[in-house]
Amino acid sequence: MKIDHMDDQPIILVAGKFDGLHRGHQQLIQQAKSYVTSGDQLAVWDLSDEQPVITSLDDKLRILEGLGTDRYYYSDVQVQKLHCKRIVIEEDMEQVLANHCDPHHLPVTILPHTTLNHERIHAADIQAFVQKGQMEAAQAHLGRPFQTTGTVVRGDALGRQLGFPTLNLGGIEEYAEPKPGVYLGIVEVHGETPAYYYTLISAGYRPTVNGQTFKVEAYLMNFSGDLYGEKVTVSYLRHMRDEENFDGINVLVEQMKQDERDARAILGMPVI
C-alpha cells in the first residue's frame, strides 16, 4: 500500500478519524468500494490524532490493506493536489472536511453513523471498554479483538523459573492499557508463514513480585522455543480475572496453574 503517495491516478477517498478502524470505519470503506471503477484506487485519509491509540499505525496499514485499500494519507495531505473523484465521509465530518479542503468541486457521499444496539460506535467507548477489561464489548464494536503488536524483548525470566515461560512484549507504549489482569487470547507470530497460539496474557504491574511498571507478558500454550526479537500481535479475547497481590510466590504459581486449567476448559483443550 502506498503512503502519502501523490500522482495523477484517480482515487475514491474515504475521509475520517480512523482512530480505531472499528465497524463504522469499515462500513465507510465498503461503501467507498462501490464507487471504485476500472483504473481507480481506494484511498483513506486519516484525520485522527488520538493518544493513546486503540490501533497503531502499523496495525492500521495492515488492516487497511486487508480491506482492499491502496493508499493511506495523513491529516496534513493537500486534497486539492489529488485526483479525487469522490469523497466518502460519515455524518458530522462535514465541517472537519471543510477545514482541510473545499469539497464543493467534487461529489461527497455522507453516510449515517454505524450503530450497535442503537448506539453510535465510537472509538472513545472502545478505549473505555479496553481500560475496563471488557474485551468482548471491545471486539463487538471493533469487529475484531483488541490487539497490541510489538517485539519480544528479554525480561527477568521469572516466568520460566516458575514453570510458565512468557514472552515480554516491547514497543507497545502508544496503545491504550487494558485493565490489569489475566486474559485469554491469541498470539500471532509474524513471518513468511504466520503462526498462531492460544495464550494467557498477564497485563499489569505484577505486585506479588514487586513490579513497578506496566507490562504485557504472554504464556503460549503448547509452545516451546525462543521468540526473542520476533514481531508478534497479541489479541485479547476474554478477561479471566483481575490482577492480585498474592501472599507469596507459591500462591501465585498455584493460581497460574488454575488459570491455565480454566483457559484450556474454555477452549476445549486437554486439561493438564
CATH of the domain at 20: 3.40.50.620
Domain identity same for 103 and 151:
no
- 152 and 113, same domain (yes or no): no
Reply yes or no on whether the pLDDT at 103 is more than 70.
no
Residue 135 lies in a domain: no
pLDDT in the model for residue 104: 64
Q: Does residue 68 have a pLDDT over 90?
A: yes
Closest C-alpha among 263, 233, 238 to residue 134: 238
Task: Indicate if 263 and 178 belong to the same structural domain.
Answer: yes
Q: pLDDT tens digits, residue range 213-246?
A: 999 999 999 898 889 999 999 999 999 999 999 9
**130: in domain:** no
Q: Is residue 166 in a domain?
A: yes
- The SS3 of residue 187 is strand
Cα–Cα distance, 263 to 261 (Å, whole number): 5
What does the alpha-carbon distance between residue 234 and residue 173 come to, in Å, rounded to a whole number?
A: 14
Q: Does any domain span residue 128?
A: no
**Count of the separate structural domains present in the chain:** 2
Mean pLDDT of 75-86: 85
| Cis, peptide link before residue 52, omega less than 30° from 0 | yes
- What percent of the chain is modeled with pLDDT above 70? 97
Highest-confidence segment of 88-92, 132-136, 158-162, 247-251: 132-136
Phi-psi region of 237 (alpha: psi -120 to 50; beta: other; left: phi over 0): alpha
51, pLDDT greater than 90: no
Burial class (CB in 10 A: 0-12, 13-18, 19+), 49: exposed
Chain position carrying cell 477489561: 133
pLDDT at 188 over 70: yes
- For the chain, percent helix, then strand, then coil, each to nearest 5? 30, 30, 40
Residue 184 neighbours by CB under 8 Å, 6+ apart:
198, 199, 200, 201, 237, 238, 240, 263, 266, 267
Q: For residues 202-222, give the mean pLDDT.
A: 92
71 and 19 part of one domain: yes
Do 18 and 57 reside in the same domain of the chain? yes
Residue 172, domain CATH: 2.40.30.30
Residue 206 lies in a domain: yes
- Asked if residue 137 belongs to a domain, the reply is no
The predicted pLDDT at position 209 comes to 86
Statement: residue 17 has pLDDT above 80 = yes
Same structural domain for residues 44 and 112?
yes
Domain assignment of residue 129, yes or no: no
**Residue 267 reports pLDDT greater than 90:** yes
- Cell numbers 502506498 label which residue? 2
Expressed as residue numbers, the domain containing 194 is 145-267
